[in-house]
Chain A
C-alpha cells in the first residue's frame, strides 16, 4: 500500500513537472524576438537565380541580345511567349514584337535554359500584381532592360554570328578562315 502510494505520488509529481516544463517553454518564447519578417516593409533578399519576372537583356555594347530564334517560345510548356522575327538595320535578326503573357507563365525557367544568346532571363522580382488580367501581357518595350542581367559581360556576337560588323574569323577563340586551296596536297 505504501509502495503504491509512493508510485502514485511519483506519477503526480512527474505529471506536474511535465506540465510545468511546457509552461516554462512557452514563457521563454514570450521573451524572444519574433522571427516574423514584416513583408511590405522588409523584403527578404532573394537569391540571384530566383525565378520571377522575365526580362530581355542587352549586350555590353547596348544592342539587343534576342535574335528571335523562337526557342523560348518552343520550350515554353504553357505557350505564354510569342514573337515575330525580322531583320534589323545592321543585318541582325531581332524580334519585331515579343510578347509574354505573365498571367499564363508558370515561372519554370525553361525559356531561360533554351535561350542561346542569354537574352531572356528570369529575375528575382516576384510581386507585380495587376487589377486587370490583360495588363499581364508584357510587350517587348516592357520586357527590355538596359543591362546584361546575370551575365553583364557576355556578348553573343563576340563569340558567334556572321551578321554585319562581326565577320568570319573575328570572334573570340576563332581562327581565321582557311583558304582551302592553300591546303590542298
Chain B
C-alpha cells in the first residue's frame, strides 16, 4: 500500500515539475516571441543581439530583473504589496494543473492520466482561478499608494466583472454538448468535430472575453501606458515587476491551452502525435493575441463596459438558448 502511495506521489511530483517547467519556459519564450513578432509586424527586427536570433534574451532579461533593486515605496501596505505579484503569477500557474495534456496512459499496469488534477468541476475551477488573479492586480494597485495604480486596479476589477459573466456564459454551450465539467471529458467529446465548428458563436465570445481576461490590447485598460504610466504595476520594480509579466504570459499560454481544450479539440488531430497537436493549438492562440496587439487600438473604457454588458452577455445568453434548442431538436 505504501509503495503504491509513494509511486502515486512520485508520479504526481514529476507531472507537476514538467507542467511547471513547460509553463514557465513557454512564458519566457512567449515574451521573446511577442517582441520578435511585434517587431516584424512593425517592420523592424525585434531583439536579435543576445545569442543567435536573440534566443538568450529571456535569460538576459530574467537575470537583469533578478539583479535590479526591489524598490518598496514609502506608504505602501507592505504585506499585500509584496504578495500581490505572486498572486497574479501563482493563480495562472495553478490553473495549469487542470489542463489535460493527453489520453490516460498505462505504464506498467498503472493508469497515469496526463493531467495533474482531474476533477469533475474542472471548468468551474479554471474560471475561479482566473478570477482570483484579478485580486493580485487590484490589491497590488490599491496598496501601491499611487493614483495611477489605483485607477488601473479599479479598471482591472471593473473589467473583470463585466467580462467574467460573458466568459462563463460562453462556456455553457460547451458544457451542454460535452455533458461534463471535467476538462478531459470535454476534450473526449470533441474526438469528432471540435466545438469551434459546432459552436462558432461561443468560440468567438470566449475569445473576446478571454482577451479581456488576459488584459491585453485591445482591452489593456488596467495598464494603459499612455494614460496611467504602467497602471497597476507602476510602483513595482525588479523581480516583482517581472512576476506580473510572468503572470501575464503564463496567462497567455494558459488561455491557449484552455481554448485548445474547450474549442479546438485538445490533443485530437490527424497524422501528427497528440502532444504535437496540442502544442500547435496552444501556441496558435498567443500568436493570434500578439497579432491582435499589433493590429488593434485600445478600447475606450465606457466602450469596453458597453461591449461587455450590452453585447457580449445578451449574445452569450441567446447562444445558450440556441444551443439548447438545437440539442433538443436533435434528441
Q: Does A2 contact B (CB under 8 A)?
A: no
B40: A residues at CB distance < 8 A: 29-30, 34
Chain B 15-29, CB-CB to A under 8 Å as 1, else 0, gives 000000000000000
Looking at chain B's contact residues, the main secondary structure is helix
Q: Does A26 contact B (CB under 8 A)?
A: yes
Chain A 23-66, CB-CB to B under 8 Å as 1, else 0, gives 10111011011111010000000000000000000000000000
B291 lies within 8 A of A22 (CB): no
B44 lies within 8 A of A26 (CB): no
Point out the residue from A26, A34, A36, A38 that lies within 8 Å of B295, measured CB to CB: A26
Number of interface residues of B (CB under 8 A): 13
Between A and B, how many residue pairs show CB distances below 8 Å? 33
B107 to chain A, nearest CB (A): 43
B294: A residues at CB distance < 8 A: 26, 29
A35: B residues at CB distance < 8 A: 43-44
Q: Does B94 contact A (CB under 8 A)?
A: no
**Contact residue range for chain A?**
10 to 19
Of all chain A residues, which has the CB nearest B293? A26
Point out the residue from B37, B45, B296 that lies within 8 Å of A22, measured CB to CB: B296
A23 lies within 8 A of B45 (CB): no
Looking at chain A's contact residues, the main secondary structure is helix
Of all chain A residues, which has the CB nearest B42? A29
- A23 to B296 CA separation, bound complex (whole angstroms): 8
A5 to chain B, nearest CB (A): 15
A27 lies within 8 A of B44 (CB): no
B10: A residues at CB distance < 8 A: none
A26: B residues at CB distance < 8 A: 41, 291, 294-295
- A38 to B54 CA separation, bound complex (whole angstroms): 14
Q: Does B39 contact A (CB under 8 A)?
A: yes
B45 lies within 8 A of A36 (CB): yes
Chain B 282-299, CB-CB to A under 8 Å as 1, else 0, gives 000000000110111000
Chain B 39-71, CB-CB to A under 8 Å as 1, else 0, gives 111111100000000000000000000000000
Q: A19-B296, A22-B296 are in contact. Are A36 and B44 (CB under 8 A)?
A: yes
5 contacts between A and B (CB under 8 A): A23-B295, A29-B42, A29-B43, A30-B37, A35-B43
A interface, CB within 8 angstroms of B: 19, 22-23, 25-27, 29-30, 32-36, 38
